[in-house]
Structure 1
């Protein structure tokens, strides 16, 4: 049952009564001195410090998220710029390839024409040398024939006609 209603519990010789009274006096002194206010002030200060730390953490988190968003944006811009640079480089490479092919074809054509001109010049020179050598040989042969004719005094009409045609054919 309930101890409060038992006989002898409220007797002043009961030590439990005095412990309870002492406890009430102790709590009264603590209240009179202002311990609850000090404890509340300490708890409020601790709470304020914790709240300041939480606010600082929230601010730092917001800054970190903003920095992360900025970094992601810069990364996307850098990737887009790199892609543009790659596209431009590929276009430049294709353009340079076309230009190089055109220049190479032009150079090859020019060299081919120069080689053909040199060949034609060499052919003309060789032809001129052959004609000159043939003319020299014909002149020497004619000289020998004329010298032999003069020495022998005989005339050959075919030989005279051939010698007359040599000059026309060589020029």
Structure 2
């Protein structure tokens, strides 16, 4: 007879298995962006923020929220507030769509959203309402100091959350 040890086989602890969740989303084309007024206006907001070097997604959510609530611009987004932070599922989906078709990009160094050269060319060739853009630009200029403060806060939290390089000890 073979001896067996009194040990039991270890069972996995409940909740340790990870499931792969696949979400299907329809692909978007530039033609769909051209026909979607909400995405075209979002491109104009990104164009207005070019001189700042782009804008973080969280800052963009604040800006679009303020433009709709305080300046009565109809950009077509629904927001809900978590604390004082405006959140919009539609805005996030539109940003992802613009990134997907290559009209917007995330700056590799700063992680800010900005128009690509294709995005600028898209606006020039497809045209846009210059009068609306001028009003939008004026309204955005009023909010740039607030946006700069939010951007600085985001940059500070990302710098503080980065792992630091090992420091050498100084021997005297």
* TM-score (norm: length of structure 1): 0.16
Larger helix fraction of residues: 1
If each structure's strand is expressed as a fraction of its own residues, which one has the higher value?
Answer: 2
The structure, 1 or 2, with the larger RCO (C-alpha pairs under 8 Å, 6+ apart) is 2
Which protein shows a greater Rg? Answer: 1
